[in-house]
Chains A and B, each alone.
Chain A
Amino acid sequence: MRRILPGFRLTLGFSAVYLTLIVLIPFAALTAKAFSGSWHHLWEVVTSPRVVASYQLSFGASLLASLINGVFGFITAWVLTRYSFPGRRVMDGLVDLPFALPTAVAGIALTALYAPNGWVGALLAKVGIAAAFNRLGILLALVFIGFPFVVRTLQPVLISLSEDVEEAAALLGATRFQTFWRVVFPAALPALLTGITLAFGRALGEYGSIVFISGNLPFKTEITPLLIVAKLEQYDYQGAAGIGLVMLLASFGILAVVNGVQAWNARRIYRID
């Protein structure tokens, strides 16, 4: 029924071909590599205790970091789109900084800040908190790199939310909090979820900045991407591809669930329309 709009074949055809070339074919090569040798070796690699410990760390820290970003990202996006205060424009512009800063530089800069002899690290050390070369350091770096996702996916939606709806809610006697919770928040939820999901995904694969600040101790602060690099260093392409594939499948699953929730949510909203 929606097919009355033009461009279906052109847009879908083009994007499908592009997607195939850039993403699908290379991933077919990755999958082929993972299964190229003995299955036994593959299984042994992806389930070895050290690798499993790194999954726990990578997934746990990424989840935590993306939730932190969800909360503070929402507040920041809200503040940036709704209020005016000195420095707002500067803040708005600098939100993208984690993208612009190469991850390696981010790692170096964060380490310089949070290491025991850094500006912030020295202060924290006084109260007995070590913020670098442990799991807290990993979390700090992951929050840093994931921050823009939530803000940037929320901003356009918060802006495009028609004010009429809020006015209507107010006229109908809703308090400000009710208006927010029942009207604004549900409308912004898909974007918030997208933002958190994107931040999570980005955090999961992050390598460049983490290796500087984590300490890389096996079973303690060793993230999965580091193990992939370690496998490659031993010319074990199959093992590297295998671990990569496990991460990919896990995140693909989570992603599919989130997208499913979103599609459901979108349908729900359209039905109200």
Chain B
Amino acid sequence: MKKQLLILAVALLSASGIARAVELLNVSYDPTRELYTEYNAAFARYWKSKTGQEVEVKQSHGGSGKQARAVLDGLEADVVTLALAYDIDVLAEKGLLPADWQTKFSNNSSPYTSTIVFLVRKGNPKGIKDWNDLIRPGISVITPNPKTSGGARWNYLGAWAYAEKTFGKDEAKTKEFIGKLFKNVPVLDSGARGSTTTFVQRGIGDVLIAWENEAYLSLKEFGADKFEIVTPSLSILAEPPVAVVDSVAGRHGTRPVAKAYLAHLYSEEGQEIAGKNFYRPSDPKAAAKFASQFGKVTLVTIDEAFGGWKQAQSKHFADGGIFDQIYTPASK
């Protein structure tokens, strides 16, 4: 079907005789910069050889929620590749793309997945093995603010999922666990990269809760001799979704190339690039190839553990939600 689409696209383009360069705008979240820099070059080569057409993909990166809002307010994104489905749902609600967008590509439209792990200082001096070590007194935990950062919401939900399993769905105890965890947080940065900088550059904190791909990238950037990665026993499966923004791509006349752009993420080449950038490829073959680079972990999905993003959002992160309750003085 993808092939047919491509052929259709080629036919359309050659028929109208406009085989000139096409431009796409990919609006993405923060940690994907390195991934898409590499992927865009690969896709341009692929598309050129397939259709003879030059394609230039422009990138915009920022916090996931902020990026979705920009698209909502008129940033002309042909495709969005965000941190959580909730942010794309908001776009669908406003009619920028169909409500069933998540069925357009396989794997819930997530060509790659990731999870939440811990980055600790070399030699793991505080002996951090799992989530329950993070609530020990005297442990300083760095995580961004779930109110302003998409990645931080995954961190929070990972901790929640672990506590819920440990306490057998006892919500009061789970809440207490989360409360203790956040009392160990001395700095709540507004974004994931800010937290990484606080931990790595400023030397604050014993452990950084981070995207797996971010943690591995930090090791690569700052040297494996300074930090190491601890994979907890249980964590959350983060599925960063992708979608064509139908209304914009329709207006630009870029729908075929936008679809091909996202579809190619699932190809062997796309999966390889994702794996090389420390994302877990969704294709089983590619996943097997990169399995050895990741730690072993039981993963729960947001749908299983939280009944989907909408519910998680309103219960935990909305105003007056559980995250706010942790910080209200009464519970101190």
Interface, chain A (partner B; CB < 8 A): 45, 48-50, 111-112, 115-118, 132-133, 211-212, 215-219, 226, 229-230, 232-236, 239
Q: How far is the CA of A117 from the CA of B147 in the complex (A)?
A: 28
Interface size on B, residues (CB 8 A): 27
Instruction: Report, nearest first, the 4 A-B pairs whose CB atoms are least far apart.
Output: A218-B327, A230-B147, A233-B65, A115-B202
Instruction: Please tell me if the beta carbons of B327 and A216 are within 8 angstroms of each other in the complex.
Output: no
Which residue of A has the minimal Cβ distance to B318?
A234
Instruction: Please tell me if the beta carbons of A236 and B90 are within 8 angstroms of each other in the complex.
Output: no
Instruction: Please tell me if the beta carbons of A133 and B186 are within 8 angstroms of each other in the complex.
Output: yes
Instruction: Please tell me if the beta carbons of A235 and B69 are within 8 angstroms of each other in the complex.
Output: yes
Residues of B within 8 A of A217 (CB): 185-188, 327
- Quick one: given A216-B145, A230-B147, A233-B63, are A116 and B188 in contact (CB under 8 Å)? no
Q: Measured between C-beta atoms, what is the minimum distance from B318 to chain A in Å?
A: 7
Residues of B within 8 A of A132 (CB): 202
Instruction: Please tell me if the beta carbons of B319 and A215 are within 8 angstroms of each other in the complex.
Output: no
Residue in A219, A229, A235 whose CB lies within 8 Å of B148: A229
- Quick one: given A116-B203, A117-B203, are A50 and B186 in contact (CB under 8 Å)? no
Q: How far is the CA of A45 from the CA of B201 in the complex (A)?
A: 36
Q: A45-B319, A219-B329 are known; give 7 further A-B pairs, CB within 8 A.
A: A115-B203, A116-B204, A215-B187, A216-B190, A217-B327, A232-B66, A233-B148
19 residue pairs A–B, Cβ–Cβ below 8 Å = A50-B324, A111-B202, A112-B201, A116-B204, A117-B202, A133-B186, A216-B187, A216-B190, A217-B187, A217-B188, A218-B188, A218-B327, A226-B190, A230-B147, A233-B147, A234-B147, A234-B317, A234-B319, A239-B319
Residues of B within 8 A of A229 (CB): 148, 190
Chain B 120-156, CB within 8 Å of chain A: the 1/0 string?
A: 0000000000000000000000000101100000000
- Quick one: given A116-B203, A117-B202, are A49 and B69 in contact (CB under 8 Å)? no
Instruction: Please tell me if the beta carbons of A49 and B204 are within 8 angstroms of each other in the complex.
Output: no
Instruction: Please tell me if the beta carbons of A211 and B186 are within 8 angstroms of each other in the complex.
Output: no
User: Is B189 located at the chain interface by the 8 A CB criterion?
Assistant: yes
User: Is B292 located at the chain interface by the 8 A CB criterion?
Assistant: no
Instruction: Please tell me if the beta carbons of A215 and B317 are within 8 angstroms of each other in the complex.
Output: no
